[in-house]
Amino acid sequence: MTSTELSDIPLGRRVVVRYRLPAGSELRFTDVIGELTAIDPVTVRTAEGATVVIPDGTVVAVKPLGPRPIRTGEIRALELAAAAGWPGTAHEWIDGWLLHAGAGYTRRANSAVPLGAPGAPADLSHDTLHRIGRWYTDHGLPVQLRLPDRLAPPPPGWRTWGETVVLGLDIENFVLPQGPPMVRVDAEPNREWLELHRFAGEDAPAPLPPPPDPAVLTAVLDGEVGFATLGLPSPLAIGRGAITGSGDERTWVGLSCIAVAAPHRRHGLGALVCAELIRWGHNRGATHAYVQVAAGNEAALSLYRELGFLDHHRYRYCAPE
Domain boundaries, position 11: 3-64
| pLDDT score, position 1 | 44
Backbone angles phi, psi at 147, to 5 degrees: -115, 100
Mean pLDDT of successive 10-residue stretches along the chain, which has 321 residues: 68 89 92 89 86 93 85 95 98 96 96 86 91 98 97 95 96 91 96 92 75 96 98 94 94 97 93 98 98 95 92 96 88
Residues 135 and 178 in one domain: no
Whether 103 maps to a domain, the answer reads: yes
Whether 82 maps to a domain, the answer reads: yes
What 3-state class would DSSP assign to 264? helix
Residues 201 and 90 in one domain: no
| Residue at a domain's end among 23, 40, 64 | 64
| pLDDT score, position 46 | 87
Residues 190 and 229 in one domain: yes
Residues 296 and 172 in one domain: yes
| pLDDT score, position 4 | 60
Q: How many CA atoms lie within 13 A of 16 on its CB side?
A: 11
281: domain CATH number?
A: 3.40.630.30
Contact 243, 281 (CB under 8 A): yes
| pLDDT score, position 301 | 94
Whether 173 maps to a domain, the answer reads: yes
Cα separation of 302 and 237, whole Å? 18
34: domain CATH number?
A: 2.30.30.520
| Residue at a domain's end among 12, 32, 64 | 64
Tell me the residue length of the chain.
321
Contacts of residues 294-300 at CB distance under 8 Å and 24 or more positions apart, as own/partner, are 294/162, 294/163, 294/164, 294/165, 295/163, 295/164, 295/165, 300/258
Contact 235, 193 (CB under 8 A): yes
Residues 201 and 308 in one domain: yes
Residues 46 and 96 in one domain: no
Residues 184 and 297 in one domain: yes
What 3-state class would DSSP assign to 108? helix
Residues 208 and 296 in one domain: yes
- Number of domains within the chain: 3
Contact 148, 77 (CB under 8 A): no
Whether 162 maps to a domain, the answer reads: no
Could you please report the per-residue DSSP string of 199-218?
A: HTTSPPPSSPPPPP-HHHHH
Pick left, alpha or beta for residue 72 (phi over 0 → left; psi -120 to 50 → alpha; otherwise beta): alpha
Query: Mean of the per-residue pLDDT values for the chain?
Result: 92
Residue among 168, 162, 148 nearest 305 (CA): 168
* β-bridge partners, 90: 101
Residues 245 and 140 in one domain: no
Contact 74, 83 (CB under 8 A): no
| Residue at a domain's end among 40, 64, 88 | 64
Contact 69, 114 (CB under 8 A): no
Residues 185 and 220 in one domain: yes
Whether 91 maps to a domain, the answer reads: yes
| pLDDT score, position 127 | 96
For a pLDDT cut of 70, what percent of the chain falls above it? 98
Q: What is the pTM of this model?
A: 0.83
Cα separation of 273 and 240, whole Å? 9
Contact 30, 19 (CB under 8 A): yes
What 3-state class would DSSP assign to 179? coil
Whether 312 maps to a domain, the answer reads: yes
Whether 101 maps to a domain, the answer reads: yes
Residue among 135, 144, 136 nearest 162 (CA): 144
Whether 161 maps to a domain, the answer reads: no
| pLDDT score, position 116 | 87
Torsion of Cα atoms, 125 then 126 then 127 then 133, to 10°:
110
Residues 140 and 41 in one domain: no
Separation of CA 20 from chain center: 38
Residues 248 and 129 in one domain: no
| pLDDT score, position 5 | 76
